[in-house]
Amino acid sequence: MVLKSGTSTLHASAWEFNRNDYFDAQNFFVPKQELRLNVFGFNAGGPVTFGKLYNPDKKRTFFFYNMEWRRLIQGGSTNQLVPPTAMYGGDFSSLSTPILVPSITQVAPSVLFGKPSDTTGCKGVVPAGIVQGMPFPGNKIPSCMISPNAQSLLNAGIFPAPNATDPKGNPEFKGGANSPTNLREEIVRIDHNFSPKLSVFGHFIAEQVTQSFGLSQWSGDKVPTVGDTFVNPSYSAVVHTTYAISPTLLNEVAFNYNGNRANVIPYPSTGLKSLALPSGYVSTNSRLFTGPNNLNRIPNINLTGNDPRFDIASWPWSNKAGDYQRRIRGKRRRHHRCSGQPPRHVAAREEKFTYVLSRASFVVKADGQIESKIGRYDDPIERSEFH
């Protein structure tokens, strides 16, 4: 990469580039999707001089400075089938397939209906019309048979409420929270001529990037109630010296540094208030999620029927990398030959992906049975998924 240097005269410029949804055509599948893009900045370059006191002929020291900002806002583009809100309360009457009460061989009555000493649930009383192994009357599950933990997760907003319907009349969610991206890039370069034979220049580049994603990255997430922010500051520096030994022999010495940081931070969105387990969820009374939950997170949940999937993945995560390089080179201009030794040192620090969550998949089978598959995230090195 070659950066512009200053000259013997002072120059400056500024710019602005703009895009927004007023100028662009709408997304056919997700109308009224917001778009805002602004790229603006300035630069200046010229001689470093203090009149007769220093560099009066403006041929020794020069500078160049550039600053640019890029600000982008993209509206949510999720187009996903979601359960109707009536199902959160156990009303599956919109389904033609009958939902069956678990049989005695699948779930014992003392577990399904509870015990008289229980403080929640059916307290040992079988609701009217409920027969194990038979369909729920009207495809409606009595409220006392719905797990308080499951109800608290649904009420927390892990799945967004439908705001549209597809051509078949199925409820779906379109849109989602905006995903902003902010970037600031700063460049400075200084050139100095010690003599006609010896010159040196140095430059420094700092780029700060913060980018948000409406869906959790590198996961199976399909609903915009969880997203993440990717923070990626990076830096680059060069000091380069050139000495002309003779008209045909040039010697160069340079030191380069390149480094970056990467941090992925999850956040709740689109109606979800927090990624932590809701206050009504009792972990000590959970038969579904038995793996570790070091951050007290909502587990990852997948409903395979219409495939809405809530997945925080393994975030937060961070990474740090640096690259140091020293280069000494001789160049013969007559024959365009170069020789030298570029010793290089690369240092990186990366956190392991520690899976602190459990995952559950729920499938409504053709015979009306609901099948659940549970996975545990308790290995800090390997990831195990069950679908």
For the segment 96-141, what is each residue's pLDDT rounded down to a tens digit? 889 899 999 988 999 899 899 988 889 999 999 999 999 999 999 9
Q: Identify the band that residue 250 occupies on the pLDDT scale cut at 50, 70 and 90.
A: confident
Question: The domain containing residue 238 runs over which residues?
Answer: 11-81+176-290+313-355
Tokens for 193? 């001529």
Report CA Rg, the chain.
31
What domain count does the chain have?
Answer: 1
Candidate from 75-79, 83-87, 313-317 with smallest mean pLDDT: 313-317
pLDDT value at 382 more than 50: no
Asked if residue 203 is part of any domain, the answer here is yes
d(CA 288, CA 274): 21
Asked if residue 168 is part of any domain, the answer here is no
Asked if residue 101 is part of any domain, the answer here is no
Percent of the chain topping pLDDT 70: 80
Asked if residue 25 is part of any domain, the answer here is yes
Asked if residue 170 is part of any domain, the answer here is no
Query: Is the peptide bond prior to 316 cis by the omega test (within 30 degrees of 0)?
Result: yes
Average pLDDT, integer, range 45-61: 90
Asked if residue 63 is part of any domain, the answer here is yes
Q: Identify the band that residue 385 occupies on the pLDDT scale cut at 50, 70 and 90.
A: very low
Asked if residue 128 is part of any domain, the answer here is no
Asked if residue 365 is part of any domain, the answer here is no
pTM score, whole prediction: 0.73
